[in-house]
C-alpha cells in the first residue's frame, strides 16, 4: 500500500471572492465583445421612452378625491332667491365614476394628497351659493373653487379636473366660475414625458435584466461550461453571486444611459436625492437579477429563456400602474397590482424623481422591494444547481 | 475521509439511471486505476463512458455504488479532489465569447491560481498544444481541433494529478496526435494519471490498460497485449468489434 494518495492538501474550500469575481468578469466580458447587444440595450430604453412618454393616453376611473363642502344655504331678501348649490355639485361628483369621493376636511385632504393617498382635495367655500346669487343679481364678483391636486400624473390630473368642471357645469351652468388649482408637491408641473420616465426606468430594468440574465445563464448550459464547472472548486453560491455582480454592472450601465438620455434629451428633472434614486434602482435591479437567475432554471435553451422577459414584463406593464393607474383597474384586478414588482418600482422612481420624496415617504416601497430581493434570492439559492441534471 | 490505497480511482458497483428516459447508462461499473496509469475507456456510442467520467469527476451524482478518487469519497468530498483533477469534456465546454487566453485564465482563477502561477504555466501549455499564435483569438473562431486543444489547456492549467480526456483527440490531426501522446507519456512519468475515452483503436493500444464498456458494464479489461492474447485477436479493433457488438459474451 502506498501512502502517496493521502498527501493532498484540502484547499480552495472556503467561499472565495476571487472565484466570484472570475464569474462576474466573465459575465461582463461577453458583453464587451457583443457591441450589438450593448447598442440594443441603450436604444431599447429610448424607444420605450418615446412610445410611452409621448403616445400614452388612457381612460382614468375611480380616482380617489376628498371633498370639503362648506357651502351653506343662501337666501337673498330682494329679489327673493334661495340657493344651496354645494350638494348639487357633490351629488354630481359622487355619481361620476371618474372619481371616487370621500367627504372630509380640506386641510386633511391636502395632507392626504401630499402623502399620495388621494389625488385631489376639493374645497367648496362657505359663501359659494351667496356669491352665485350676487352674481345673478348683477354684481361683479369672482367665484372660486379650490382644487389641491397632484399634478405628477397629467392624465389623472386632466381627468379629475374635467370631472369637476362637468359637475360644476351641470349644477350651476357656465357662469365663469374659476377653478383654482393648487399643485401638490411644491407645485411642480410635469410634461407627459417627464411622468413617463420613472415608469420606463422601472420597466426597462425588469425587461432587459430578465432577458439578459436568463440568456446569460442559459448560454452557460448550452456551451456545457456550467456542467464543466461542477467538477471544479467553484461553489454554487459563488457562481450565483458572480452572475449577480456581473449583471448588475450591466444594469448600472443601462440605468445610467436611460437617466442620462432622460435628462439630456428629454429634459427630465430629478427632484429628489440622486443617490437615493441610484440606490432604489440598484435594489430593484438586484431583485430582478435574482429573479432572472431563478427563472433560468426553467429554460433549457435560449429560445425558452427569451420567453421569460415578456412573460414577466407584460403582466407588470398591465398591472403595475404603468399604462393605467392602479385605481382605474377593475376592483377584482387591483389586489394583483400589489404582487407585481413594477408597482413598487414605479412608486419609488416616481416618488424620488417627480415628487422629491425621500426614504421617510417611501419606506414601505423600499421595504417591499427589499423583501422581493430576499424572496427572489432565496428562490435562486434554493434552486441553483450544483451538479449535472439526471 | 482519505483512505490509503494504491489506486487513485476506484469505483464499486457504480450505477447511473437517468431520470429522463430511465436509461441504465452505467450498470455496476467496477474500475480500479493506479497512479501514473494511462487508462483507455473504450466502447460503442452510448455504452456509458461519458456518464462514468462525469460521476468520477463529481459533476454527476450516482444512483448507487461507491467512488473513491485520490482516497476521497466522491461526490461527498468532491470539492477537495476537484483541485487535483482536470477534465476535458467530450463537447469542448469552453466559453465561445471569450478568447483562448481568457478561457484558460478563467479556469486558473477558479482553481485559485495567482497571476504569477498562471503566466509560466500558460506559456508552457501554449507551446505544448501549439496554440501560441491563437492566444488572443476568440474561442468561437478557432477550428474544431483548436477548440479541443483550448479545452485541454483549461483542464491542465492547474497541474492536476488526474486528467480525464473524454474523446481528447477527436479532431486533432495525426501529426499533433502523435505529439500529444508523447506529452501524455511525459505526464505519466510525472506520476499523473490519465483516463481517456476513445474511438480510435490504435490510440487505445498506446494506453497502459484498456477497459471495454458495453451497456454500462466493463466487459473486458487488461493491457493491450493481455487482451489480444486472451481474445486471440490481432488488434484491439477486432476485439472491440466482436465484444462491443455482443458477438462474444465475455465475463
Ligand atoms: N443527460 C442524459 N439524460 C438522459 N440520458 C442520458 C443522458 N446522458 C446520456 N444519456 C444516456 O446514457 C447512455 C450512456 O451515454 P454516455 O454519454 O455515457 O455514452 P458514451 O459511452 O459516452 O457514448 P459516446 O461514445 O457516444 O460518447 C446513453 O444511452 C445515453 O442516451
Ligand atoms: Mg461520450
| Mean per-residue pLDDT, A350-370 | 90
The answer to whether residue B141 sits within a structural domain is yes
The interface residues of chain B toward chain A in range 131-160, judged by CB-CB distance below 8 A, are 138
Residue identifier of the C-alpha nearest atom 25 of ligand 1: B45
CA trace torsion B111, B114, B119, B125 (10° rounding): -20
User: Predicted confidence band at A5 (pLDDT cuts at 50, 70, 90)?
Assistant: very low
Q: Which residues, 6+ apart, have CB-to-CB distance to B194 below 8 Å?
A: B37, B38, B39, B162, B163, B165, B184, B187, B188
Extract the C-alpha cell encoding B195.
483516463
Q: How far apart are CA A291 and CA A47, in angstroms?
A: 24
> Does pLDDT of A73 surpass 70?
yes
Note the pLDDT tens digit of each residue in B6-61: 899 999 999 999 988 778 899 999 999 999 999 999 998 999 999 999 999 999 99
Chain A residues closer than 8 Å to B55 by CB = none
Given this model, what pLDDT does residue A56 score? 47
SS3 (DSSP) at A238: helix
Extract the C-alpha cell encoding A331.
376592483
Given this model, what pLDDT does residue A53 score? 55
* Global confidence as pTM: 0.79
| Strand locations in chain A (E) | 63-69, 74-76, 81-83, 99-103, 120-124, 144-149, 178-183
Neighbours of ion ligand 2 (CB under 5 A): B 49-50, 90
Specify the higher pLDDT residue, B145 or A47.
B145
- Ligand 1 and B96: CB distance under 6 A: no
DSSP string of B97-127? TSBHHHHHHHHHHHTT--HHHHHHHHHHHHH
Dist. CA B126 → ligand 2 center (Å): 26
Dist. CA B148 → ligand 2 center (Å): 14
Q: How far apart are CA A190 and CA A248, in angstroms?
A: 31
| Mean per-residue pLDDT, A159-187 | 83
- Ligand 1 and B49: CB distance under 6 A: yes
Residue of A nearest to B77 (CA): A10
Q: How far apart are CA A310 and CA A315, in angstroms?
A: 8
Q: Which residue has the cell 483562448?
A: B100
Maximum Cα interatomic distance, chain B, rounded to a whole number of Å? 55
Chain B residues closer than 8 Å to A223 by CB = 93-96
Q: Please name the member of B3, B18, B95 whose beta carbon is closest to the beta carbon of A390.
A: B18
Residues in chain A: 390
Extract the C-alpha cell encoding A349.
422612481
Domains of chain A by range and CATH?
63-187 (3.40.1710.10), 192-387 (no CATH)
Q: How far apart are CA A291 and CA A358, in angstroms?
A: 27
> Does pLDDT of A180 surpass 50?
yes
User: Predicted confidence band at A190 (pLDDT cuts at 50, 70, 90)?
Assistant: low
User: Predicted confidence band at B3 (pLDDT cuts at 50, 70, 90)?
Assistant: low
Q: Where are the alpha helices (DSSP H) in A224-235?
A: 225-229
Average pLDDT, chain B: 91
- HSE (CB half, 13 Å, CA atoms) of A173? 6
The answer to whether residue B83 sits within a structural domain is no
Note the pLDDT tens digit of each residue in A239-294: 999 998 998 888 888 778 877 877 776 666 778 898 999 899 889 998 998 999 89
Extract the C-alpha cell encoding B148.
479541443
Given this model, what pLDDT does residue B86 score? 96
Tally A–B CB contacts below 8 A: 119
Out of B15, B31, B48, B63, mutate this one to test ligand 1's pocket (max ligand atoms within 8 Å of CB): namely B48
Q: Please name the member of A30, A228, A235 whose beta carbon is closest to the beta carbon of B93.
A: A228
Q: How far apart are CA A353 and CA A271, in angstroms?
A: 5
Given this model, what pLDDT does residue A200 score? 81
Query: What are the CB-based long-range contacts (under 8 Å, 24+) for A72-79?
Result: A72/A126, A72/A129, A73/A129, A74/A127, A74/A129, A74/A130, A74/A133, A76/A133, A76/A134, A76/A137, A79/A137
The answer to whether residue B218 sits within a structural domain is no
ipTM value, please give it. Answer: 0.92
Average pLDDT, chain A: 84
Q: Which residues, 6+ apart, have CB-to-CB distance to A13 below 8 Å?
A: A233, B79, B80
| Mean per-residue pLDDT, B143-159 | 95
Q: How far is CA B36 from the centre of its chain?
A: 13
The answer to whether residue B248 sits within a structural domain is no
In terms of residue numbers, what domain contains B103?
94-160
Q: How far is B139 from chain A (nearest CA, A)?
A: 12
> With an 8 Å Cβ cutoff, are A2 and B57 in contact?
no
Cα–Cα distances in angstroms (integers) from residue B108 to residues A23, A231, A329, B92, in the given order: 12, 14, 55, 17
Residue B191 has φ and ψ, to the nearest 5°, of 85, 15
- HSE (CB half, 13 Å, CA atoms) of A197? 26
User: Predicted confidence band at A192 (pLDDT cuts at 50, 70, 90)?
Assistant: low
Which residue, A281, A128, A11, is CA-closest to B110?
A11
The answer to whether residue B210 sits within a structural domain is no
Q: How far apart are CA B91 and CA B103, in angstroms?
A: 15
DSSP single-letter state for residue B138? B
Question: A299-320 b/e with 16+ CB inside 10 Å = b?
Answer: beeeeebbebbeebbeebbbbb
> With an 8 Å Cβ cutoff, are A227 and B89 in contact?
yes
Q: How many domains does chain B have?
A: 1
Cβ atoms within 10 Å, residue B184:
20
Residue pair B153/B129 in contact (Cβ under 8 Å)? The answer is yes
> Does pLDDT of A191 surpass 50?
yes
> At CA B127, angle to CA A26 and CA B187, rounded to 5?
95
Cβ atoms within 10 Å, residue A158:
13
Its sign, for the CA torsion B233, B238, B240, B241, is negative
The answer to whether residue B151 sits within a structural domain is yes
Cβ atoms within 10 Å, residue B133:
10
The answer to whether residue B121 sits within a structural domain is yes
Chain B residues closer than 8 Å to A33 by CB = 97, 138
Note the pLDDT tens digit of each residue in B225-236: 999 898 888 888
The answer to whether residue B106 sits within a structural domain is yes
> At CA A377, angle to CA A376 and CA A383, rounded to 5?
90
Note the pLDDT tens digit of each residue in A299-327: 888 889 888 888 888 888 888 877 777 77
Q: Which residue has the cell 410635469?
A: A190
| Mean per-residue pLDDT, B75-95 | 94
Q: How far apart are CA A201 and CA A256, in angstroms?
A: 10
Chain B residues closer than 8 Å to A36 by CB = none
Amino acid at each position: 500500500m502506498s501512502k502517496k494518495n493521502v498527501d493532498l492538501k484540502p484547499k480552495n474550500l472556503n467561499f472565495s471572492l476571487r472565484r466570484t469575481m472570475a464569474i462576474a468578469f466573465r459575465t461582463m466580458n461577453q458583453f464587451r465583445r457583443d457591441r450589438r447587444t450593448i447598442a440594443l440595450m441603450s436604444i431599447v430604453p429610448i424607444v420605450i421612452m418615446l412610445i410611452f412618454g409621448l403616445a400614452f393616453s388612457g381612460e382614468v376611473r375611480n380616482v380617489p378625491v376628498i371633498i370639503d363642502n362648506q357651502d351653506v344655504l343662501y337666501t337673498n331678501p330682494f329679489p327673493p332667491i334661495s340657493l344651496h348649490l354645494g350638494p348639487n355639485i357633490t351629488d354630481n361628483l359622487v355619481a361620476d365614476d371618474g372619481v371616487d369621493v370621500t367627504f372630509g376636511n380640506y386641510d386633511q385632504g391636502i395632507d392626504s394628497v401630499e402623502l399620495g393617498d388621494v389625488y385631489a382635495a376639493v374645497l367648496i367655500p362657505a359663501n359659494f351659493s351667496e356669491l352665485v346669487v350676487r352674481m345673478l343679481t348683477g354684481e361683479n364678483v369672482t367665484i372660486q373653487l379650490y382644487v389641491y391636486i397632484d399634478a405628477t400624473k397629467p392624465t389623472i390630473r386632466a381627468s379629475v379636473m374635467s370631472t369637476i368642471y362637468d359637475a360644476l357645469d351641470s349644477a350651476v351652468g357656465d357662469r365663469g366660475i374659476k377653478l383654482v388649482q393648487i399643485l401638490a408637491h411644491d407645485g411642480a408641473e410635469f410634461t407627459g414625458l417627464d411622468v413617463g420616465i420613472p415608469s420606463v426606468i422601472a420597466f426597462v430594468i425588469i425587461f432587459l435584466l430578465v432577458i439578459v440574465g436568463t440568456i446569460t445563464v442559459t448560454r452557460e448550459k448550452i456551451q456545457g461550461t456550467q456542467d464543466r464547472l461542477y467538477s471544479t472548486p467553484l461553489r454554487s453560491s459563488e457562481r450565483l453571486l458572480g452572475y449577480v455582480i456581473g449583471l448588475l454592472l450591466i444594469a448600472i450601465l443601462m440605468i445610467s444611459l436611460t437617466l442620462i438620455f432622460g435628462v439630456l434629451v428629454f429634459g427630465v428633472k430629478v427632484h429628489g436625492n440622486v443617490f437615493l434614486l441610484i440606490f432604489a434602482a440598484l435594489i430593484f435591479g438586484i431583485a430582478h437579477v435574482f429573479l432572472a437567475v431563478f427563472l433560468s432554471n426553467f429554460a433549457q435553451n435560449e429560445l425558452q429563456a427569451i420567453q421569460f422577459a415578456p412573460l414577466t414584463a407584460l403582466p407588470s406593464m398591465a398591472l403595475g400602474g404603468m399604462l393605467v393607474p392602479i385605481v382605474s383597474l377593475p376592483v377584482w384586478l387591483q389586489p394583483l397590482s400589489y404582487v407585481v414588482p413594477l408597482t413598487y418600482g414605479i412608486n419609488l422612481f416616481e416618488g424620488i424623481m417627480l415628487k422629491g420624496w425621500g426614504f421617510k415617504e417611501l419606506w414601505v416601497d423600499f421595504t417591499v422591494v427589499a423583501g422581493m430581493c430576499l424572496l427572489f434570492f432565496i428562490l435562486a439559492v434554493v434552486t441553483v444547481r450544483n451538479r449535472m441534471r439526471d | 475521509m482519505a483512505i490509503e490505497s494504491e489506486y487513485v480511482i476506484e469505483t464499486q458497483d457504480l450505477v447511473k439511471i437517468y431520470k429522463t428516459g430511465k436509461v441504465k447508462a452505467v450498470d455496476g461499473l467496477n474500475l480500479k486505476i493506479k497512479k501514473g496509469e494511462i487508462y483507455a475507456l473504450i466502447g460503442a456510442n452510448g455504452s456509458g463512458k461519458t456518464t462514468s467520467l462525469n460521476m468520477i469527476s463529481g459533476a454527476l451524482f450516482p444512483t448507487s455504488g461507491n467512488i473513491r478518487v485520490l482516497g476521497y469519497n466522491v461526490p461527498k468530498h468532491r470539492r477537495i479532489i476537484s483541485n487535483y483533477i482536470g477534465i476535458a469534456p467530450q463537447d469542448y465546454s469552453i466559453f465561445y465569447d471569450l478568447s483562448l487566453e481568457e478561457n484558460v485564465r478563467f479556469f486558473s482563477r477558479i482553481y485559485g491560481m495567482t497571476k504569477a502561477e498562471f503566466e509560466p504555466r500558460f506559456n508552457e501549455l501554449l507551446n505544448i498544444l501549439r496554440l501560441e499564435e491563437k492566444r488572443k483569438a476568440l474561442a468561437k473562431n478557432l477550428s474544431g481541433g483548436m477548440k479541443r486543444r483550448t479545452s485541454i489547456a483549461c483542464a491542465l492549467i492547474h497541474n492536476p494529478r488526474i486528467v480525464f480526456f473524454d474523446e481528447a483527440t477527436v479532431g486533432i490531426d495525426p501529426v499533433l496526435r502523435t505529439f500529444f501522446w508523447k506529452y501524455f507519456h511525459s505526464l505519466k512519468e510525472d506520476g499523473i494519471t490519465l483516463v481517456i475515452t476513445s474511438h480510435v483503436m490504435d490510440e487505445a493500444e498506446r494506453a497502459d490498460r484498456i477497459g471495454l464498456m458495453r451497456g454500462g458494464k466493463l466487459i473486458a479489461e487488461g493491457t493491450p497485449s493481455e487482451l489480444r492474447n486472451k481474445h486471440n485477436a490481432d488488434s484491439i479493433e477486432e476485439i472491440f468489434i466482436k465484444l462491443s457488438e455482443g458477438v462474444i459474451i465475455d465475463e
